[in-house]
Chains A and B, each alone.
Chain A
Amino acid sequence: MTDENPQQPFDEAEYRRRQRVRANLMGWILGGLAFLFFFITMARMVVPT
C-alpha cells in the first residue's frame, strides 16, 4: 500500500490554487446538475412513462 498521505511539503500558493480550481469546478458541476435535473423533469413531463 502507498502512504496514506503521500504528498510532500507544499507551499500555500499551490494549496490555494487547487482549492480555487476545485471550488470553481464544483460550482460549475452543481450548476450544470441543477440545469440537467430541471430539464430532465421537463422532459419527463412531456414523455409518457
Chain B
Amino acid sequence: MAQSLTHGEMSLPADWRDLFALTKPRVMSLVVFTALCGLLAAPGSVHPVLAFSSILAIALGAGASGALNQWYETTIDAKMKRTANRPLPAGRLDRQTALQFGVGLAAFSVFLMLFAANWQAAVLLTVSILFYVFIYTMWLKPRTPQNIVIGGAAGAFPPLIGWVAATGSVAPLPIALFLLIFLWTPPHFWALALFVRSDYAAAGIPMMPVVAGERATRRQILLYAVVMAAAAIAPWPLGYTGALYGWTATILSALFVLLSAQVGLRSAGADDRMQPEKRLFAFSIAYLFILFGAVVADHWLPL
C-alpha cells in the first residue's frame, strides 16, 4: 500500500511540531506572562485551578490568533526571509488544516474561559481574537502604516482579560496596563521594521519605514517612547501601584527613552548593522517582562 500512496491521492498527516509552530509560541509566552500578571495583580484570590484554566484559555486564544494570522498571510510570509520557513509557506502544512486548527482552537479557548472564569472574560477573549484576525490581520496590516498602532490593541488585551477573569470587572489598573502595551507596540515593532525593512517592502506590507521612510519612523519611535514612558509611570502617582513598581517603571522607561533616542536621532548609512535598533527591540521585550513582573511584585510585596 505504501508505494501507492503518492502526492495527490493522500497527504501526510500534519506533524504536531508544525501545528505547534502555527501558534507562534514565542509571542504566546509574552501573552501568557502579561495575562498572568493581570490575574495576579487583581484584588482577592483566585482558585489555582481556575487561574490555571483562565491562563490556558488565553494562551490557546493567542495560539488560535497566531494560527489564523499565518493561514491568512501564507503568501506574504513566503516573500519574507524572516517568515519563509514557517510551516505554511514552507509547504509542510496545508492551509485547510491550519484554518480548521485555528478556528477550533479559538472556539475551544472561549468555551474554556466561559467554563473556568466568567462571561465577561470570555467576551473579551472573543473580541481580542476577532480584533487580531479581522481588524489587524485582514484589514489594517495590508492597508495602512498605522497597522500596528491600532492593531497593537489586540496584544494589549491579555492583562485586561487576566484581571477580568479574576474579578469579573474592569478597573483603572488593568486599563493602564492595556494602555502601556498599546503604546509599547509601535516602538517595539518599528524598531524591528527598521532592520527587516527590505523584507516588508518585498512582501508589500505598508510598514512605517517602507511607506513614510526611515527618518519619519525614527521620529515616531522616539515620540511613542516618550508617551509610553509617561503612561508606564502614571499608575504610581495616580495611586494604582506602589513605589516598587513606580521606581522600576521610572528607571526602565528612562532607559527605554534613551535607547529610543539613540534610534530616533540617527540615520543609518549603507551596510549599517542597525545595532541601536536591534538593541531597542531586544530591550523592549525585557522591558515589558520586568515591568509586568513589577506590577505583581508591587501587589504582593507592597513597600
Return B107 CB to nearest CB of chain A, in Å: 14
Q: Give Cα A17–Cα B123 distance, bound, in whole angstroms.
A: 39
Q: Is the pair A18, B13 in contact by a Cβ cutoff of 8 Å?
A: yes
Q: Could you say which residues of chain A place their CB within 8 Å of the CB of B15?
A: 18, 21
Q: Could you say which residues of chain A place their CB within 8 Å of the CB of B95?
A: 1-2, 4
Task: Identify which of A2, A9, A19, A37 contacts B6 (C-beta below 8 A).
Answer: A9
Q: Is the pair A5, B8 in contact by a Cβ cutoff of 8 Å?
A: yes
Choose, from B47-55, B153-161, B193-201, B222-230, the stretch at the interface. Answer: B47-55
Return A12 CB to nearest CB of chain B, in Å: 3
Q: Quick check: is B58 within 8 A (CB to CB) of the other chain? A: no
Task: Identify which of B1, B56, B78 contacts A2 (C-beta below 8 A).
Answer: B78
Interface positions of B from 82 to 131, Cβ below 8 Å from A:
88-89, 91-96, 115-116, 118
Q: Is the pair A12, B5 in contact by a Cβ cutoff of 8 Å?
A: yes
Residue of B12, B50, B56, B91 with most partner-chain A CB within 10 A: B12
Q: Count the A residues whose beta carbon is within 8 Å of the partner chain — how many?
A: 30
Q: Is the pair A2, B2 in contact by a Cβ cutoff of 8 Å?
A: no
Q: Is the pair A47, B75 in contact by a Cβ cutoff of 8 Å?
A: no
Q: Give Cα A44–Cα B114 distance, bound, in whole angstroms.
A: 12
Q: Count the B residues whose beta carbon is within 8 Å of the partner chain — how many?
A: 31
Q: Is the pair A36, B2 in contact by a Cβ cutoff of 8 Å?
A: no
Q: Give Cα A13–Cα B270 distance, bound, in whole angstroms.
A: 51
Given contacts A1-B74, A1-B75, contact A6 B53 (CB under 8 A): no
Q: Is the pair A47, B50 in contact by a Cβ cutoff of 8 Å?
A: yes
Q: Could you say which residues of chain A place their CB within 8 Å of the CB of B26?
A: none
Q: Give Cα A39–Cα B50 distance, bound, in whole angstroms.
A: 9
Q: Give Cα A10–Cα B3 distance, bound, in whole angstroms.
A: 8
Q: Could you say which residues of chain A place their CB within 8 Å of the CB of B16?
A: 21-22, 25
Q: Is the pair B47, A43 in contact by a Cβ cutoff of 8 Å?
A: yes
Q: Give Cα A11–Cα B4 distance, bound, in whole angstroms.
A: 9
Return A29 CB to nearest CB of chain B, in Å: 10
Q: Is the pair A37, B115 in contact by a Cβ cutoff of 8 Å?
A: yes
Q: Is the pair B91, A43 in contact by a Cβ cutoff of 8 Å?
A: no
A-B pairs with beta carbons under 8 Å apart, 23 shown: A1-B75, A2-B74, A2-B75, A2-B78, A2-B89, A3-B91, A4-B94, A4-B96, A5-B8, A6-B91, A6-B93, A7-B7, A7-B11, A10-B12, A12-B1, A12-B2, A14-B12, A15-B2, A15-B12, A25-B16, A39-B49, A40-B49, A46-B47
